[in-house]
Structure 1
Amino acid sequence: MSTIFIVGSSSGIGKATAKLFAEKGWTVIATMRSPEKETELTSYENVFIYPLDVTKPEVIENTVSEVLGKYDVDVLFNNAGYGMKSRFEDMTEEAMQRSLNTNLLGMIRVTQKFIPYFKAKKSGMILTTTSLAGEMGLVLDGIYAADKWAVTGVCEMLYHELYPFGIQVKTIVPGVVKTGFKMEMSEMPGFDNLIKNQTEMLMPDMDDLELPEEVAQDIYHAVTDKDSDRMCYVTGKITKELYQKRQELGDEEFRKYIRSSLMKNK
């Protein structure tokens, strides 16, 4: 039986992934900041819940050490996240620190703890949820854009660096998913038209958003895919269309295409 260690299992994509892998017969290590509040995953005999806050190195050290002492982990799935929407000039120091600490440094901290373990066993997979915001610049993403582009860069670097040791590195790239994930938002006068057009581009049908369970299926495919050289798995119809369009147009023409979409009605 294979084992997956999931960071951020309390809701949304993380919880849906924990359920799916458990139902597929995997041993699931489901981690979250407040495990005492979890009531749903506790019903699975092959799901084991542990505390993990990616902003606290000592908690990461304790939990990862305990888990790796008990289980033969095959896959690390980095899925913790924090989001914000703000004009760039309005971002607060607190919000920037929280975003970087969770989305980028948190992912790095956990991944560092698993690399020596995977190197020793000469196998393993590091799978990380990035974002469409890590593939294209989206209006008002602020420091979130920096986080996600950086995470994508770290994963691509590790894809090469860890290959000689038998370790696969992959990314899941979702767009807008119907979850409880909330973006903190500030007042943004003068951006109504941009926000409206970007929303229409990313979410043309609010009743047809991708579900966490659909992303979980893509995650299961990424983990079990026999193509060990593939890194990026894009999820969702709109996200796939935009990702493909950037590949077809090239960076410069794609930026012009997005700008024209955002500036319509002006």
Structure 2
Amino acid sequence: MNIMIIGGTSGIGLALAVHYAAQGAHLALCGRDLARLDGHPLASAQRVRTYAFDIADRAAVAGAVQDFGGDGLDLLIVTAGQYVDAAGLSAEPALGLGLTQTNIGGLVAAFDAAGALMRGQGRGQIVVVASIAGLLKAYPADSLYSASKRAAIGICDTYRKALAPWGIAVTTIVPGYVDTARLRELNGGNAGGKPFLLTEEDAVRRMIEAIEQRAVRCVFPWQLHWMVRLFNLLPSGLRNLRRK
């Protein structure tokens, strides 16, 4: 099985790679900084190839997909993404463009590159790890991050319909808070205050199950999903009080 993971050099992407490596898959691990793999067993594994690129670089994405997928591409997983909070955007507005180019433009680039290759095969699966923030309805004080993830979920839904005639499945994974190194970094070293926080192991297990089932969408945990649903029912004035 040939699997490419964009965002596979750290966090959930790397954890998924460890699982598939143990299954004997041939892997392509992609990220902006391959130094993140230094010292990791997969960095020198025989069945693993690495590619350094920014997902927002459309040509680089297409080149890597074509290079690795020359013998076929069974599964593309996209975990790459950027997060910037309201304070960060206020201090440096240009960060918003980078977030948009990564979370939206980069995702489209990945779909186009993998979709073209998989259409020729007549098979394949594309998996995108989004965020439960993307299930929040738009409102005046909505964060750019939530808007980008809402767009990402919509992109998945659109490409799913477009690629279905070629037997290509699209799975959208919509997790809540996962106790990754990145989340801890964003929260002063401790993400324990986040509601319904999942361990990385638990989140990865759920993702693998959804991928194997070729699920259309997998949202978890259910408790946070229901909180989002209730939040969406509030008047926009009350929703505007939400902290970014």
Please indicate the TM-score interval, normalised by the length of the shorter structure: 0.7 to 0.9
- Residues 203, 182 of structure 1: CA spacing in aligned structure 2 closer, same or farther, 3 A cutoff? closer
- Residues 252, 141 of structure 1: CA spacing in aligned structure 2 closer, same or farther, 3 A cutoff? closer
Q: Percent identity?
A: 25
1:184-228 per-position Cα deviation (integer Å, ceiling 9, x unaligned): 98xxxxxxxxxxxxx99x8247xxx31222222122112211xx5
User: Aligned ranges for residues 1-266 of structure 1 at < 5 Å?
Assistant: 2-39=1-38, 40=40, 41-69=42-70, 71-86=71-86, 90=90, 92-136=92-136, 142-181=143-182, 203-204=194-195, 209-225=197-213, 228=214, 230-235=215-220, 237=221, 240-244=222-226, 253=233, 255=234, 259=238
The question of whether the paired residues in 1 share the 8 Å contact of 2:62 and 2:109 is answered with no
Stretch deviating more after TM superposition (173-182 or 105-114)? 173-182
Stretch deviating more after TM superposition (35-44 or 128-137)? 35-44
CA distance in 2, matches of 1:117, 1:65: 7
Could you tell me how far 1:72 is from its partner in structure 2?
A: 1.7
The answer for unaligned runs of 5 or more in structure 2 is none
- Residues 78, 204 of structure 1: CA spacing in aligned structure 2 closer, same or farther, 3 A cutoff? closer
Q: Normalization by structure 2: what TM-score?
A: 0.82
Could you tell me how far 1:15 is from its partner in structure 2?
A: 0.7
1:110-130 per-position Cα deviation (integer Å, ceiling 9, x unaligned): 211111111111111111011
Could you tell me how far 1:24 is from its partner in structure 2?
A: 2.0
Larger Cα-atom Rg: 1
Could you tell me how far 1:244 is from its partner in structure 2?
A: 4.1
Q: Normalization by structure 1: what TM-score?
A: 0.76
CA distance in 2, matches of 1:252, 1:145: 13
The question of whether the paired residues in 2 share the 8 Å contact of 1:85 and 1:141 is answered with no
CA distance in 1, matches of 2:111, 2:181: 25
CA distance in 1, matches of 2:64, 2:232: 44
CA distance in 2, matches of 1:220, 1:8: 16
Could you tell me how far 1:3 is from its partner in structure 2?
A: 1.7
- Residues 246, 44 of structure 1: CA spacing in aligned structure 2 closer, same or farther, 3 A cutoff? same
CA distance in 1, matches of 2:228, 2:62: 39
Could you tell me how far 1:92 is from its partner in structure 2?
A: 4.2
Stretch deviating more after TM superposition (168-177 or 215-224)? 215-224
Q: Give the counterpart letter for 1:213 in structure 2.
A: E
Could you tell me how far 1:138 is from its partner in structure 2?
A: 9.4
Could you tell me how far 1:178 is from its partner in structure 2?
A: 1.3
The answer for unaligned runs of 5 or more in structure 1 is 186-198
Could you tell me how far 1:66 is from its partner in structure 2?
A: 1.2
Give the root-mean-square deviation of aligned CA atoms.
Answer: 3.2
Aligned length: 234
The question of whether the paired residues in 2 share the 8 Å contact of 1:133 and 1:145 is answered with yes
The question of whether the paired residues in 1 share the 8 Å contact of 2:10 and 2:36 is answered with no
